[in-house]
A and B are shown apart, each in its own frame.
Chain A
């Protein structure tokens, strides 16, 4: 099954690819992309955020890994899946895009980059390669920002909002609530930060810090890596304060009915049996 891929023969990768059905060692756990990465488009460009925890089925292998990898000045890739595979494929993609730029005198568009990555990953479909990348880019000319999700299964999707990884459901609900086209840059930053924070709060495989990148027509800018521990402690303080408040109110009123609202809305039905 050694397909001659022109991109691969020039590198030092093995030319014969493993068979699709080979699985020498069964996976100990279903690879669920232990991470939280998210990206969304808005009027100010693209906002990308990710946590920084690399986990290896229960062990935090690295608490400060980088999941957002800039590919060139106007394209950033968010990675999820196997860290090793992602790092490699990011480098391959960066190299191919640079070669394209040198040969043709112009940069490849984000959709072109997504298609290229998808075709490069295709021969590995069925193997244990696991890469789920979200490409966020904005070209320098008039075209708008672009967001593509490319997966080693062969998926290539264009969209306005993506979140990948085990923490993605937690992030999705926050993003669905708050993201719309008309966000300001600060609002977008705070929503992205909040979404990653909530995912790290509930998901065991996401955590540590949050990285944020903002991509505009001028290129990408990176925000300082922020440790979410501080945020967690702030929230803990607040909840502790709430608990003492709650204890005080329950002690002071022996009849808790006083706290309850007396008004009943029309849509409440009293069904007793």
Chain B
């Protein structure tokens, strides 16, 4: 896909249903008609200015969008979608923070569907390029798709312009790509953790939020992680301390939150790029912690 784009390969339209601006209704057209990064106005028939080729159901009419109920997870009144069986609450724990040694990204590995643990060994942290890693939260399918789209777009930019897109620009790109889907049931909350002239941490959400910060935690387990992170996080942490802090935060969240658990993945991003720590089963940590508390109790009783 990337190569044919660069070579301006004109593909034959084989049952393509593409994104139609007319279905937006009152919503404003988010991007210009020209192709994104290509400065020459290449208006190919299949490409309506969006580098996407898939079918999108008609977006809700703007009046129902305004009058929708407060809970943003209720489908709009006039759409034919199926009522959600449970409230999507980003059943996960992912976190990222900046310290003097770079950026740490950590996440659990449990994918839940209501009360079922659909998969106990999911990769919630995906590398985009050598200096950018993204942690995902929300609907697993949506996140996987958008990570692939982002990887492709970043690679295309790099091939066309010869340099890598900055993290802030990547976040902006992602945010504007997600924008047409605002109001639909797509649910994606990504934290871009990377390095370009300094550590960067940006949170992008399908609701439209795009925030840069020093510490982010997303998901149902995030309050538990925040408690631990807020307490210990300092700029001057050493690499080992930062890793153990991230690990501890994810562990505490998995301990209390039902939708987080199993293993913990840890990535460390520096000016040299990202490196991944071996996936660790938190079950062992739980038993160690229990033993430690039991030992302390026995010590005190003596």
Contact = CB atoms under 8 A, between A and B. Distances in A.
Contacts of B78: none
Interface of A: 29, 43, 169-174, 176-177, 180-182, 194-195, 198-199, 201-203, 242-243, 245-246, 249-250, 256-257, 259-261, 264-265, 267-273
A264 B278 CA distance: 13
Given A202-B226, A250-B198, A260-B102, A173 B253 contact: yes
Interface string B271-284: 11101111000000
A249 B99 CA distance: 12
Contacts of B226: 170, 173, 198, 202
Given A180-B293, A202-B223, A173 B228 contact: yes
Top-6 shortest CB links A-B: A182-B300, A169-B223, A173-B227, A173-B252, A170-B227, A181-B297
B286 to A, nearest CB: 11
A267 B278 contact: yes
Contacts of A269: 275-278
Contact of A202 (B230, B256, B273): B230
B100 A259 contact: yes
24 contacts: A169-B223, A169-B224, A172-B252, A173-B223, A174-B228, A177-B248, A177-B252, A180-B293, A180-B296, A181-B297, A181-B300, A182-B296, A182-B297, A198-B227, A198-B230, A199-B227, A202-B227, A242-B234, A246-B235, A249-B100, A259-B101, A268-B278, A271-B127, A271-B275
Nearest to A29: B70
A170 B229 CA distance: 10
Contacts of A256: 198, 271
B69 to A, nearest CB: 10
A245 B236 contact: yes
A98 B163 CA distance: 78
Interface size class for chain B? 35 or more
A250 B101 CA distance: 11
A221 to B, nearest CB: 21
B277 A268 contact: yes
B10 to A, nearest CB: 30
Contact of A173 (B198, B256, B270, B276): B256
Contact of A261 (B127, B230, B239, B252): B239
Query: Chain A interface secondary structure, helix, strand, loop or mixed?
Result: helix
Interface string B155-183: 00000000000000000000000000000
Nearest to A270: B275
B105 interface: no
Contacts of B268: 268
Contact of A268 (B70, B249, B275): B275
A260 B101 contact: yes
Contact of B231 (A29, A174, A181, A273): A174
Contacts of A182: 296-297, 299-301
Given A172-B256, A173-B224, A202-B223, A242 B235 contact: yes
Nearest to B298: A182
A256 B275 CA distance: 17
Contacts of B231: 174, 194, 198
A258 to B, nearest CB: 10
Interface string B203-229: 000000000000000000001111110
Given A29-B70, A181-B296, A257-B271, 20 more contacts: A169-B256, A170-B223, A171-B227, A172-B224, A172-B252, A173-B256, A180-B296, A181-B300, A199-B227, A201-B230, A202-B230, A245-B236, A257-B272, A260-B101, A265-B277, A268-B276, A269-B275, A271-B127, A271-B276, A272-B130
B249 to A, nearest CB: 7
Contacts of B100: 246, 249, 259
Contacts of B278: 267-269
A204 to B, nearest CB: 12
Contacts of B81: none
Nearest to B301: A182
B238 interface: yes
